Amino acid sequence: MKISALMTSAGINIGICVLLWSLYSVLRKQPAFVRVYFGRRIAEENRLLREAFILERFVPSTGWIVKALQCTEEELLAAAGLDAVAFNRMLVFSIRIFSLAAILCLFGILPVHYFGRKMHRLEISSEQLHMFTVGNVEVQSRWLWVHSIVLYIISGVACFLLYVEYGHIARLRLLHLKRATLNPGQFTVLVRGIPKTANESCSSDVDDFFTKYHASSYLFHQVVYKAGKVQKIMTGAKKACGMSDPSTDTTLDQRCKAVTYPCCLCGASSDSFQLLPTDEVAKNIDKKECAAAFVFFKTRYGALVASEALQTSNPTKWVTDLAPEPDDVYWSNIWLPYKQLWIRRIATVLGSLVFLVLFVVPVAFIQGLSQLDQLQKKLPFLDGLLKKPYMSQIITGYLPSVILLLFLYTVSPIMILFSTMEGPTSHSERKKSACSKVLHFYIWNVFFVSLASGAVINQLNPSSSTKDIAVRLAHVIPEQTTFFITYVLTSGWASLSSELMQLFGLIYNFIIKYVLRMKEDIAFVPTFPYHTEIPKVMLFGLLGFSCSVLAPLILPFLLVYFFLGYVVYRNQLLNVYRMRYDSGGLYWPIVHNTVIFSLVLTQVICFGVFGLKESPVAAGFTIPPIFFILSFHQYCRTRFLPLFKTFPSQDLIDLD
């Protein structure tokens, strides 16, 4: 890919960003869209935008950017919770480490790449991007020691910043526990796998068990009922009766009488709607007790002990876990039999693997578009079209990343479906599981499959041996970074603008208000999609680490993305999304593990590239950092990770 093609892609995305950001600064001031852009503040603060005509409402402004930057961490914690703070610290970490990497690589490594070979130079706009990668460095070059030193500095500073951020989030998690208002979830244990007996009810079994084995701390319990379809019908009937008379509540009036309507066919009257007595309805409802219950304790420490201990010699019976917060409970999965969960998890793993494999096809097709010379050979009828300069620049510089972005929109809903099928008992657990699945999908399909398919399309032939495949994969890693740069522009810059505009929210709002003429649902305010945004940011971090010393030209584009994301996400968390539940920063271990994986993978890639450059000294220098990074990771797992799995007994006893 030429620099001109990259500039075409950058120009298109910059234009889209400027247009959408300007539109947002105008639309956010319009009363018609106030619920789209200020959903959280309206729901929690009951504030509305005045509808008087003001000329300022139709002029783009940057005041919202200043407000987003001026927001303190305490204000963000109060408005959006600890998960939002952890997400914000992830962006801060990325800005810090890649600012350092950009300074070192652009001024230290990029000149080494560009002047790595003695050859005729063209104008910068006509140069191939390959000229700015490590592929342009001569074999056995004496300048590869620069790469080793920069690699050491980046890895060391990244580990130091990770340690600081991990400790900061851990302290905030403990402060969150101490400062939180009285939360019933801290006193409650969710019990599943309750064995059924022939003589007694499930409720009696639970009461007898915890009275006998947790007598000092047990308070009472509530068995979870699955009422079935009859209860859904009753709920709908109550709502319909309440809506029929504005002066009445949703509660049924027991004094009302049966209503008769004439039949349209024969004229006979029929009791089409009758109000049944409450006792009779209760008999019809199938109160089938499920093997699950909420057990309440007198102290937080008592609930912790009961949740951590193995209750019986059979681990599948009387399974206890700390209950989610009331708003966090995922009621649809509470009634699932505990013995069924392992089958569901195996099924979701297999489904995820099948989806990973099937997605290889569109990724390989997209890589074919980015290889213009190969595309001309395989599709000769497009030769005339591809020879036009502007068409070739759009096809190679913009179209592949756009197509990949459209395909990736299907990943998040499918992964959240798989996570739901696993049987999580809380919304936050479901999103956390989906976050891990989407992250693994991005790393495999967007990173590894893009590299592999690029090598297959560009270099391999039917006579290639296994050794040739390994060597050429190492060759294609710096070359494939040109596609990653365009991916950062499209999936990074443009998607941030789309997130800011809330395109789906605007369309939904328009259809509800002006097409269907329905009243807006004030209570519905979306929650922040951590399961889609965290994997996206982590993928860009992986691209930044792995390409920093091999193709440093990607770093300025990544830095712009992280700076824009810092502003956009803070604005959305403060104004748009509502915090219904909070996992307490449990996303941070995922972030930490991904950064460690990225650092180790970077060393491995550099080891292979330096080996191909026949520089054993530079290749050997990549081995010690691997052991240092893994040792650092093990220390963090010992020092901080236990605080994210449970709460300290000392703090709970002090609170009690």
Q: pLDDT class for 302, splitting at 50, 70, 90?
A: very high
Neighbours of 251 (CB within 10 A): 9
The phi, psi pair for 192, rounded to 5°, reads: -130, 170
pLDDT at 562: 96
**Phi then psi dihedrals of residue 527, to 5 deg:** -95, 160
| Structure confidence at residue 279 (pLDDT) | 45
Please compute the mean of the pLDDT values over residues 335-359 and round it to a whole number: 90
Per DSSP, 186 falls in state G
Mean pLDDT for the stretch of residues 132-146? 82
CA dist., res. 427 & res. 324, Å (int): 9
Handedness of CA 162, 163, 168, 170 (dihedral sign): positive
> d(Cα 138, Cα 78) in Å, to the nearest integer?
55
Q: Comparing C-alpha atoms, which of 20, 21, 38 is closest to residue 29? A: 38
pLDDT value, residue 252: 37
Q: Please list the helix, strand and coil fractions of the chain in percent, rounded to the nearest 5, in that order.
A: 70, 5, 25
**3-class SS letters over 215-256:** CCCEEEEEEEEECCHHHHHHHHHHHHHHHHCCCCCCCCCCCC
Give residue 149's pLDDT: 93
What is the Cα–Cα distance from 574 to 50, expressed in whole angstroms?
A: 20
Q: Compare 221 and 612 and report the one with higher pLDDT.
A: 221
Contact between residue 558 and residue 540 where contact means Cβ atoms under 8 Å apart: yes
Contact status, residue 550 vs residue 477, Cβ threshold 8 Å = yes
For residue 401, which of 503, 501, 540 has the smallest C-alpha distance?
Answer: 540
How far apart CA 177 and CA 182 sit, in angstroms, is 10
Decide if 599 contacts 573 (C-beta within 8 A).
no
Distance between CA atoms of 225 and 75, rounded to whole angstroms? 40
For the ranges 180-189, 232-241, 643-652, which has the lowest average pLDDT?
232-241
Residue 84 and residue 579 in contact, taking contact as beta carbons nearer than 8 Å = yes
Write down the pLDDT at residue 625.
94
**Would you put residue 580 in left (φ > 0), alpha (ψ -120 to 50) or beta?**
alpha
Residue 488 pLDDT level (bands cut at 50, 70, 90): confident
pLDDT value at residue 122:
57
The answer on pLDDT for 427 being more than 80 is yes
Burial of 396 (0-12, 13-18, 19+ CB in 10 A): buried
Share of the chain above pLDDT 90, in %: 38
- What's the confidence (pLDDT) of residue 421? 93
Whether the per-residue pLDDT at 10 is higher than 90: the answer is no
Over residues 412-417, mean pLDDT: 93
DSSP line for 561-596: HHHHHHHHHHHHHHHT---S---SSTTHHHHHHHHH
Exposure class string for 5-22: b at 16+ Cβ within 10 A, else e: bbebbbebbeebbeebbe
Q: Locate tokens 């369309």: which residue?
A: 507
Q: Of the segments 95-104, 187-196, 241-250, 505-514, which one has the largest average pLDDT value?
A: 95-104
Run of H or E including 270? strand 269-273
Whole-number Å distance between alpha carbons of 237 and 402: 48
Percent of the chain with pLDDT over 70: 75
Amino acid at 404: L
3-state secondary structure 451-474: HHHHHHHHCCCCCCCHHHHHHHHH
d(CA 424, CA 333): 6
DSSP β-bridge partners for residue 273: 259
Four-point Cα dihedral 508, 511, 514, 520, nearest 10: -50
pLDDT digits (tens, 9 = 90+) for 531-540: 999 999 999 9
Of 4-8, 107-111, 315-319, 432-436, which range is least confident? 4-8
For residue 480, which of 453, 462, 443 has the smallest C-alpha distance? 453
Q: Regarding predicted confidence, which is higher, 320 or 399? A: 320
pLDDT band for position 643 (50/70/90)? Answer: very high
pLDDT tier at 484, thresholds 50, 70, 90: confident
pLDDT of residue 261: 40
Lowest mean pLDDT among 120-124, 257-261, 638-642: 257-261
Burial of 182 from C-beta contacts in 10 A (0-12 / 13-18 / 19+): exposed
At residue 571, does pLDDT exceed 50? Answer: yes
Handedness of CA 193, 194, 196, 197 (dihedral sign): positive
Residue 161 pLDDT: 97
- Segment 44-60 shows an average pLDDT of 61
Q: How far is CA 542 from CA 426, 484, 546, 555, 655, in A?
A: 30, 11, 6, 12, 41
- Say what the pLDDT of residue 258 is: 41
| Residue 295, C-beta contacts closer than 8 angstroms, at least 6 positions apart | 188, 189, 190, 191, 206, 210, 218, 221, 306, 320
- Count of other CB atoms within 10 angstroms of residue 459: 17
Contact (Cβ atoms closer than 8 angstroms) between residue 161 and residue 634? no
What are the beta bridge partners of residue 259? Answer: 273
**Block residue for tokens 């027991």:** 254
